[in-house]
Amino acid sequence: MAVQRYFVSDQAQQGGIVAISGDDAHHIARVMRMKPGDGIICVFPDGRTAVCEIEQIANEHVQARIVQWKEERSELPVRIYIAQGLPKGEKWELVIQKGTELGAAGFLPFEAARSVVKWDAKKAEKKVERWKKIAKEAAEQAERTVVPDVRAPLSFVELLAFGQTVDVRLFAYEKEARNARHAALPALLSRLRPGGALLAVFGPEGGFSPEEAEQLRQHGFSPCSLGRAFCGPKQLRSICFPPPLMNGSCARRTAKRSALSEQHWLFLIKVRSR
């Protein structure tokens, strides 16, 4: 059985002792039913990882002693950010969960012209906290050393501005499936080098408006058809398609000479909502 992993703050550790409280302590004590002497892994904000031994569990407060610092290299060599026009229901949560498991660096929902979902500012704080919790739990499950950055919904202008901070910018545009411009996608991905960053932008269920597509182009975003580029002439849904269900050969031709292995490109594939 894999050793449970928990993300902790720098303040939680003093003198080689880590104090854990809240949901993580509840998980240790009530869900996993651990006892003193059991081992856990604690991950700090800077990515440092420590093997710890539980010394005390009391009133859902856990105290563990650092036994050994370990070096882990579980993060991707490039940072990939996923932005999407707010989708319906729990689809965005699925994107966060699966994207985190596959190594995404951050998630940026945005308000698009054709978004069916309208952002309720009154519920904003609880929504974002839930998204962050999903990312944290998925990062622990995937044995990552960093929790992805999960943002509150951005305006379209804010999204364009964020795009200027990365090396490669692309947006999935269904109209590209009708021409041969998808051939440019491997060339776009080949620009990425270790340490670089990519922003992939996906529209809501109704896709991008012509005005949004034009603004994206003007700000250096390259349009592409991920369905055609990865798996032939398919129009895909807008939620994240779980890579384990995909044939890895779909992405092989775009993964060559790239900083990433082919499986990591697959989480860029979206499945167009009907």
CATH number of the CATH domain containing 31: 2.40.240.20
**pLDDT, tens digit, 9 for 90 and up, residues 184-219:** 667 777 788 889 999 999 888 888 999 999 999 999
**pLDDT, tens digit, 9 for 90 and up, residues 219-256:** 999 988 765 544 444 444 444 433 332 333 333 333 44
Of the ranges 85-94, 122-131, 149-158, the best mean pLDDT one: 149-158
State which residues form the domain around 91.
79-272
The answer to whether residues 52 and 91 belong to one domain is no
The average pLDDT across 61-73 equals 93
Structure tokens of 248? 């890895």
The average pLDDT across 82-104 equals 88
- Supply the pTM of this predicted model: 0.81
Number of domains in the chain: 2
Domain boundary (70, 99, 117) is at 70
Cα 203 to Cα 84: distance, rounded to the nearest angstrom: 6
Tell me which residue of 246, 231, 236, 245 sits closest to 271, measured CA to CA.
236
Top pLDDT among 110 and 269 is at 110
Amino acid at 170: L
